[in-house]
Amino acid sequence: MDGWGKGPQAGNAILAADTPNIDKLNRTYPAATLAASGSQVGLP
């Protein structure tokens, strides 16, 4: 899902929002967090 990411708790609108369907998916299915920007993907 584009734009849905993990980040610091302070100021994180996604964590502040009521997201029951996404919360259920996170409880039910395994997931992983990927680093997908900057030096993690070979950019300077």
Q: What burial letters (b/e) apply to 2-12, b meaning 16+ CB within 10 Å? A: eeeeeeeeeee
pLDDT-based confidence at residue 25 (cuts at 50, 70, 90): very high
Q: Which domain holds residue 17?
A: 1-44
Q: How many CB atoms lie within 10 A of CB 19?
A: 13
| For range 31-43, the mean pLDDT | 89
Q: Is the pLDDT of residue 24 over 90?
A: yes
For the chain, the domain total comes to 1
